[in-house]
Structure 1
């Protein structure tokens, strides 16, 4: 099986790596491997923090993916002999002032409806967790299950692992289009 993967960020490189494991010959096309959207991403593996942004229907998929991530991260780190910056320190979503508290309560409600284990805490409790927070922070939602990675390290590690696994071809150009043959 011959497969072309367009894009060499975390998703494209992970896809290419999986396909190589299945025995596929893989060609990756990207003008700047590991330097696109993944390079600029925040690295949040945070389904509970993201659920409020209109992602409620995707929450079960996001939660399942987040649960799988530690194993994925360990595997990639081992294959590339690299530190991916993986942490499971959780997330604090903060209300900058009293006016933001209502939005924070709505976030907490959306998270609760999605089954997230989160807690609404006071500003002083948030500062005990994260001492660098402004004294103006009026409250926060504490999301202990959230994780993060350094997406630049993950992209570089995946690219390194694929190179070691002899990815068939890496074409450092922009894809020009898609040609369909037959249906």
Structure 2
């Protein structure tokens, strides 16, 4: 912002790449990420990463909800699988990480998880998807989607993480701590 023509961030962390992708539009000039090892360095031209407006708006939330340093990933579904769903249904994440977490936001993210675990289905209830997968012979717990209650906690963690990331450029961020307080109370009771 101070007139630099090129910024190079040296880091090997995917979370940082996602943050740079989100905030790249606020900077003029080139934004690069240097990654790799001393023997094999790579430079990623962050300023050249092209996303649809919906994907650009929700890249931080997508990364948080599908697995990052602080939030687990959906069991059996990595970034490649979930990216395809995000490309088609990214708008389901529009409200996550923004403001107070509402029941309608939780339902939208639940629908995204239904699409991840059952792409051919129009189901929007994760417990129903879980039940149908079990009925069809999926007995391995690792391959079944989480229960609605577990998914709610996952969404709360992702919501909190996204709130922090959305304000990564703010010196004194204002984070809704109500979700974090609930998570801490729940974890101390178990």
Select the structure of larger CA radius of gyration: 1
Which protein has greater RCO, CA pairs closer than 8 Å, 6+ apart? 1
Q: Which structure carries more helix by proportion?
A: 2
After TM superposition, the score normalised by the length of structure 2 is 0.26
Q: Which structure carries more strand by proportion?
A: 1
After TM superposition, the score normalised by the length of structure 1 is 0.27
